[in-house]
């Protein structure tokens, strides 16, 4: 994980070297996707956490410690800002516009959720409803859509209602763009969640919006 994060962020946390990891008698804990009561009483000094705790209840109280670790490298920040600036100049007559990052991890949403999470895949109306929710609150909205399954997005999202841009790029580019947007619409997948965690504005995860993102 360290090798994946370092090219994108100014990581300051110490790295656990493989030798120490292999010689430590860890007590392993598979995390739920929510803050269980038992997590308030963990005592083991060598506890290794695993899982994908993408929950506001799990991480909200740690945001002040988490945010500094998600400081983008300057060149990535500048690239994302440059692209958003081009979009604003090309799509908006206003100097002020509001960017909405839209994200779906295609593999997680289509494969992992129904097979492992026992979830139900909603129709594409849920994304359209979320976009309409933001349109009603921000007149000059630009929706920046990122995904590893862009073909499904372009086929199912109605881009005629307002300014919608489908941005296909690598993982680094998609993540940095989502982080620079003002708001987030996400389905399932850690990219959308962690990008939304860095924003001070309004994310719309499924549990907060009746459209069930």
Sign of the four-CA dihedral 41, 68, 166, 209: positive
Q: Is the pLDDT of residue 201 over 60?
A: no
> Residues 131-181: pLDDT tens digits?
888 888 888 888 988 876 677 777 777 777 778 888 866 677 777 888 888
- Parse the chain into domains and list their residue ranges: 2-67, 72-208
Query: Residue 195 belongs to what H/E stretch?
Result: helix 190-197
**CA–CA separation, 196 and 163 (whole Å):** 21
Element (H, E) at 81: helix 74-91
For residue 182, what pLDDT is reported? Answer: 86
User: 72-208 architecture in CATH?
Assistant: 3-Layer(aba) Sandwich (3.40)
CB neighbours of 212 closer than 8 A, spacing ≥ 6? Answer: 122, 126, 206
Residue 193: predicted pLDDT: 59
pLDDT over threshold 70, residue 112: no
Q: Provide the percentage of residues in the chain whose pLDDT is more than 70.
A: 69
Q: Give CA torsion, residues 40, 44, 48, 52, to 10 deg.
A: -10
| Weakest-pLDDT range from 67-76, 117-126, 160-169 | 117-126
User: pLDDT band at residue 25, thresholds of 50, 70 and 90?
Assistant: very high
Residue written as token pair 């895949």: 121
Enter the tokens of residue 135. 């349109």
Write down the pLDDT at residue 123. Answer: 59
Transcribe 135-188 into DSSP letters.
Answer: HTT-TTEEEEEEES-HHHHHHHS-TTSSEEEE----HHHHHHHHHHSSEEEE-S
Token pair, residue 96, equals: 């002020």
Q: To the nearest whole percent, how much of the chain has pLDDT over 90?
A: 5
**53, pLDDT greater than 80:** no
Contact predicate 145/157, CB 8 Å: yes
Are 186 and 207 in contact by the 8 Å Cβ rule? The answer is no
What DSSP string runs through 35-48?
A: --GGGGG---SSEE
Mean pLDDT of the residues in the chain? 75
Pairwise pLDDT comparison (182 vs 95), residue with the higher score: 182
Rounded to whole angstroms, how far apart are CA atoms 55 and 68?
19
């Amino acid at each position: 994980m360290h090798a994946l994060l370092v090219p994108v962020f100014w990581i300051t946390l110490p790295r656990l070297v493989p030798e120490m990891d292999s010689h430590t008698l860890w007590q392993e804990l598979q995390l739920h996707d929510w803050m269980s009561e038992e997590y308030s009483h963990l005592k083991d000094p060598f506890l290794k956490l695993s899982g994908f705790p993408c929950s506001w209840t799990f991480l909200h109280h740690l945001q002040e410690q988490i945010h500094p670790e998600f400081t983008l490298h300057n060149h990535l920040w500048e690239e994302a800002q440059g692209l958003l600036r081009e979009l604003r100049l090309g799509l908006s007559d206003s100097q002020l516009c509001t960017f909405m990052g839209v994200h779906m991890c295609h593999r997680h949403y289509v494969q992992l959720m129904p097979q492992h999470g026992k979830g139900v895949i909603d129709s594409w109306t849920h994304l359209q409803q979320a976009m309409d929710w933001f349109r009603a609150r921000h007149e000059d909205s630009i929706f920046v859509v990122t995904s590893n399954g862009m073909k499904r997005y372009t086929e199912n999202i109605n881009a005629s209602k307002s300014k919608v841009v489908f941005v296909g790029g690598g993982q680094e580019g998609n993540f940095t763009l989502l982080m620079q947007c003002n708001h987030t619409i996400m389905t399932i997948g850690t990219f959308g969640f962690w990008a939304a965690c860095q924003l001070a504005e309004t994310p719309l995860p499924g549990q907060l919006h009746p459209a069930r993102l």
